[in-house]
Amino acid sequence: MKPMKLLTRMARSFVAGYNVEDALKQVQKLKDKGIMVTMDILGEAVEDKPMCDKAVQDYLDLLMKLAKVKSKAHISLKLTQMGLAIDDEYCTQNMVKIIGLAKKNDRFVRIDMEGSAVTERTLKIFYRLRKQFDNVGIVVQAYLHRTEQDVREINKVKGKVRLCKGAYKEPKEVALKKMKDIRANFIKLSQLLFKEGVYSAIATHDTKLIKWTKAYVAENKIANKDFEFQFLYGIRNKTQRELAKGGYRVRTYVPFGTHWIPYFYRRLRERKENVFFLAKNLFKK
C-alpha cells in the first residue's frame, strides 16, 4: 500500500471523518450504545489570523448544526487553534463567541490542554472565561509537576476538570517521566477532584486506573451521575461499551476534520504497537 494511503487508513481508526456529516454518523453510533460525546474539530498551532477566524466560524457552525439535529454533544477545542499564538485578548474574545453561543444551547465547552509552553496562558484564559461562564471546563495533565497546585486552584473556582496523563513530549524539569509515577499522581489528583472538585472526567484507557476509579467511587459512595469516564474515539471500544452498560457515564472524544496529522502523531507515539504496525506495513513490498 502507498505510504499516504496507509497513513490515511490508519488515521481513520482515530479520526471520525473529514467533515461534520461523517463525524455525526459516528456520534449516532456511539449514542446508540449509550455513550455520550465531545466533538473536536482538529486543528492547533494556528498562527494565521484568517485561519483562526475560520476555525472559530467552523465551531460556531458546528454548534448551530448540533442544535439543529438536537444533539447533546459537548465540544472540545484547543486555544492555539483559537488564536493563542497571535494574541491572548483575541483568543479570549474568540472563546467568548463560542462559549456564548454554546451557553444559549445549554452546551458545554472543554478547553483541551496542550504543551507546557502554553499551560500558564491557557489556565489564565480559562479563569477569565470561568468568571463569565459556567459551561466551560478545562483539562489537566497528571504528568506535569505543577498540576496538583493547579487542581487546587481550579477547585476553588468550581471548574470542571478532565484529568488525563498528558500527551506532549515534555522535559523532566516540568513533567514526570515514569509511568509508575504518572499513575500515582493521576490517583492523587483523582482523589483531590473527587473530594473537592465538581463533576470530574476521568480520561484514560489505562485498565489499572479505570479499575482504581471504579473501586474508589464504590468505596466512597460517589454516585455515577457525579463523574464520567472519557475515552478517545477508536480506543478501547469494548471497555467503553462495557462501562456504559454497567451504568457509568461514558463520553467519547470524537475528533474530525482535515488537520489530523499532529493528533494522529500523538496517538502513534502513545503505543509502540501502532508505530511497529505502521513501520512494518510501510516497508512491506
Ligand X SMILES: Cc1cc2nc3c(=O)[nH]c(=O)nc-3n(C[C@H](O)[C@H](O)[C@H](O)COP(=O)(O)OP(=O)(O)OC[C@H]3O[C@@H](n4cnc5c(N)ncnc54)[C@H](O)[C@@H]3O)c2cc1C
Of the listed 162, 183, 251, 267, which one is catalytic? 162
DSSP 144: B
* Contact yes or no for 16/256 (Cβ under 8 A): yes
| Catalytic residue flag (residue 110) | no
Taking the C-alpha atoms of residue 90 and residue 93, their distance in angstroms, rounded to an integer, is 5
Spell out the long-range contacts of 53-56 with Cβ–Cβ below 8 A and sequence spacing 24 or more: 55/81, 55/82, 56/82, 56/94, 56/97, 56/98
Burial of 143 (0-12, 13-18, 19+ CB in 10 A): buried
DSSP 283: S
Q: Which is nearer to ligand X, 107 or 162 (CB)?
A: 162
CB-side neighbour CA atoms (13 Å) of 12: 10
Residue closest to ligand X, measured at CB: 205
Taking the C-alpha atoms of residue 113 and residue 189, their distance in angstroms, rounded to an integer, is 16
Of the listed 40, 107, 112, 130, which one is catalytic? 112
Q: Which is nearer to ligand X, 67 or 127 (CB)?
A: 127
Q: Which is nearer to ligand X, 17 or 143 (CB)?
A: 143
Q: Which is nearer to ligand X, 238 or 285 (CB)?
A: 238
Taking the C-alpha atoms of residue 266 and residue 164, their distance in angstroms, rounded to an integer, is 14
Q: How far is the CB of 233 from ligand X (least distance, A)?
A: 9
Distances (CA, A) of 227 to 142, 243, 262: 18, 13, 29
Residue in the block written with cell 439543529 = 68
Residues that bind ligand X (CB under 6 A): 112-113, 139, 141, 162, 164-168, 203-206, 230-232, 235-236, 253, 267, 270-271, 274
| Catalytic residue flag (residue 112) | yes
Q: Which is nearer to ligand X, 104 or 178 (CB)?
A: 178
Q: How far is the CB of 108 from ligand X (least distance, A)?
A: 13
- Cell numbers representing residue 245 in the block: 452498560
- What are the residues facing 77 on neighbouring strands? 111
Q: How far is the CB of 67 from ligand X (least distance, A)?
A: 23
Taking the C-alpha atoms of residue 265 and residue 280, their distance in angstroms, rounded to an integer, is 17
Q: How far is the CB of 126 from ligand X (least distance, A)?
A: 12
Q: Which is nearer to ligand X, 6 or 67 (CB)?
A: 6
Q: How far is the CB of 249 from ligand X (least distance, A)?
A: 13
Task: State the pairing for strand pair 227-232/250-256.
Answer: parallel
Q: How far is the CB of 30 from ligand X (least distance, A)?
A: 13
CB-side neighbour CA atoms (13 Å) of 278: 20
Residues tagged active-site: 112, 162
